[in-house]
Amino acid sequence: MGVGKVYAKHPAVKKNDKVMVISGKEKGKIGAIRTVDSEKGRVIVEKLNLVKRHSRPNARVAQGGIIEKEAPIHISNVMIICGKCAERTRIGKRVLEDGSKVRVCKKCGEPMDR
Protein backbone atom coordinates (compact mmCIF):
# COMPACT_ATOMS: atom_id res chain seq x y z
CA MET A 1 0.00 0.00 0.00
CA GLY A 2 1.48 3.36 -1.09
CA VAL A 3 1.80 6.36 1.11
CA GLY A 4 0.64 9.77 -0.18
CA LYS A 5 3.10 12.52 -0.95
CA VAL A 6 4.47 14.23 2.14
CA TYR A 7 4.41 18.03 1.91
CA ALA A 8 6.63 20.63 3.50
CA LYS A 9 5.65 21.78 6.95
CA HIS A 10 6.18 25.37 5.84
CA PRO A 11 4.45 26.01 2.52
CA ALA A 12 5.41 29.09 0.50
CA VAL A 13 1.97 30.67 0.86
CA LYS A 14 0.47 32.09 4.04
CA LYS A 15 -2.91 33.26 5.29
CA ASN A 16 -4.12 36.54 3.69
CA ASP A 17 -1.73 36.19 0.71
CA LYS A 18 -3.27 37.23 -2.60
CA VAL A 19 -3.17 34.28 -5.01
CA MET A 20 -4.27 33.39 -8.54
CA VAL A 21 -5.65 29.96 -9.40
CA ILE A 22 -3.63 28.56 -12.31
CA SER A 23 -5.59 25.40 -13.11
CA GLY A 24 -9.02 23.86 -12.71
CA LYS A 25 -12.51 25.31 -13.05
CA GLU A 26 -11.52 28.53 -11.24
CA LYS A 27 -8.47 29.18 -13.48
CA GLY A 28 -7.47 32.84 -13.71
CA LYS A 29 -9.45 34.00 -10.67
CA ILE A 30 -7.83 35.92 -7.81
CA GLY A 31 -8.57 35.73 -4.09
CA ALA A 32 -7.06 35.87 -0.63
CA ILE A 33 -6.07 32.73 1.24
CA ARG A 34 -8.38 32.03 4.18
CA THR A 35 -6.67 28.90 5.57
CA VAL A 36 -3.61 26.78 4.80
CA ASP A 37 -3.51 23.03 5.54
CA SER A 38 0.20 22.18 5.30
CA GLU A 39 -0.35 18.51 6.22
CA LYS A 40 -2.55 17.89 3.15
CA GLY A 41 -0.98 20.57 0.96
CA ARG A 42 -4.22 22.46 0.41
CA VAL A 43 -5.51 26.02 0.76
CA ILE A 44 -8.96 27.58 1.01
CA VAL A 45 -9.30 30.75 -1.06
CA GLU A 46 -12.02 33.30 -0.28
CA LYS A 47 -15.05 33.12 -2.60
CA LEU A 48 -13.42 30.57 -4.94
CA ASN A 49 -14.11 26.87 -5.57
CA LEU A 50 -17.60 27.12 -4.08
CA VAL A 51 -19.51 23.87 -3.52
CA LYS A 52 -23.05 23.28 -2.33
CA ARG A 53 -23.68 21.18 0.77
CA HIS A 54 -27.03 20.05 2.10
CA SER A 55 -27.46 20.46 5.85
CA ARG A 56 -30.12 19.45 8.33
CA PRO A 57 -31.43 21.77 11.01
CA ASN A 58 -29.46 21.40 14.26
CA ALA A 59 -28.59 23.36 17.40
CA ARG A 60 -26.24 25.74 15.54
CA VAL A 61 -28.30 26.16 12.36
CA ALA A 62 -32.00 26.60 13.05
CA GLN A 63 -33.02 26.16 9.43
CA GLY A 64 -31.51 23.49 7.20
CA GLY A 65 -31.03 23.80 3.46
CA ILE A 66 -28.37 24.16 0.83
CA ILE A 67 -25.22 25.96 1.99
CA GLU A 68 -22.48 27.23 -0.31
CA LYS A 69 -18.96 27.05 1.08
CA GLU A 70 -15.39 27.10 -0.18
CA ALA A 71 -13.68 23.81 -0.91
CA PRO A 72 -9.89 23.33 -0.61
CA ILE A 73 -7.59 23.80 -3.62
CA HIS A 74 -4.21 22.09 -3.92
CA ILE A 75 -1.24 24.37 -3.21
CA SER A 76 0.31 23.52 -6.60
CA ASN A 77 -2.76 25.00 -8.33
CA VAL A 78 -2.28 28.51 -6.92
CA MET A 79 0.46 31.12 -7.47
CA ILE A 80 1.10 34.06 -5.20
CA ILE A 81 0.70 37.59 -6.56
CA CYS A 82 3.45 40.08 -5.76
CA GLY A 83 2.29 43.29 -4.10
CA LYS A 84 4.91 45.42 -5.89
CA CYS A 85 4.87 44.23 -9.51
CA ALA A 86 1.25 42.91 -9.36
CA GLU A 87 2.15 39.73 -11.29
CA ARG A 88 1.88 36.09 -10.32
CA THR A 89 5.28 34.82 -9.33
CA ARG A 90 7.32 32.17 -7.62
CA ILE A 91 8.79 32.80 -4.20
CA GLY A 92 12.42 32.91 -3.15
CA LYS A 93 13.90 33.35 0.30
CA ARG A 94 16.53 35.82 1.44
CA VAL A 95 18.27 36.48 4.74
CA LEU A 96 18.43 40.17 5.63
CA GLU A 97 21.30 41.97 7.38
CA ASP A 98 19.57 41.65 10.76
CA GLY A 99 19.39 37.85 10.32
CA SER A 100 15.66 37.60 9.59
CA LYS A 101 14.36 35.54 6.68
CA VAL A 102 11.89 37.01 4.20
CA ARG A 103 10.06 35.75 1.14
CA VAL A 104 11.02 37.59 -2.04
CA CYS A 105 9.40 37.90 -5.48
CA LYS A 106 11.41 36.05 -8.14
CA LYS A 107 10.42 38.61 -10.81
CA CYS A 108 11.16 41.96 -9.14
CA GLY A 109 13.26 40.82 -6.16
CA GLU A 110 11.24 42.84 -3.63
CA PRO A 111 10.45 41.38 -0.19
CA MET A 112 6.86 40.10 0.14
CA ASP A 113 6.81 40.07 3.96
CA ARG A 114 6.57 43.35 5.81
Domain definitions of the chain by residue range: 7-81, 85-114
- Measured distance CA(64)–CA(5) in Å, rounded: 37
What does the pLDDT read at residue 62? 86
CATH 2.30.30.30 given to domain 7-81: yes
- Measured distance CA(70)–CA(93) in Å, rounded: 30
Nearest to 35 by CA among 3, 92, 81, 75: 75
pTM: 0.83
Nearest to 51 by CA among 70, 33, 36: 70
Question: Per-residue confidence of the chain (114 residues) as pLDDT tens digits?
Answer: 556 666 567 788 999 999 999 999 999 999 999 999 998 999 999 999 999 999 999 998 888 899 999 999 999 999 999 999 999 999 999 999 999 999 999 999 999 876
What does the pLDDT read at residue 6? 61
What does the pLDDT read at residue 28? 97
- Measured distance CA(100)–CA(48) in Å, rounded: 33
- Measured distance CA(70)–CA(48) in Å, rounded: 6
Contact of 52 with 87, CB cutoff 8 Å: no
N-term to C-term CA, the chain: 44
Contact of 55 with 65, CB cutoff 8 Å: yes
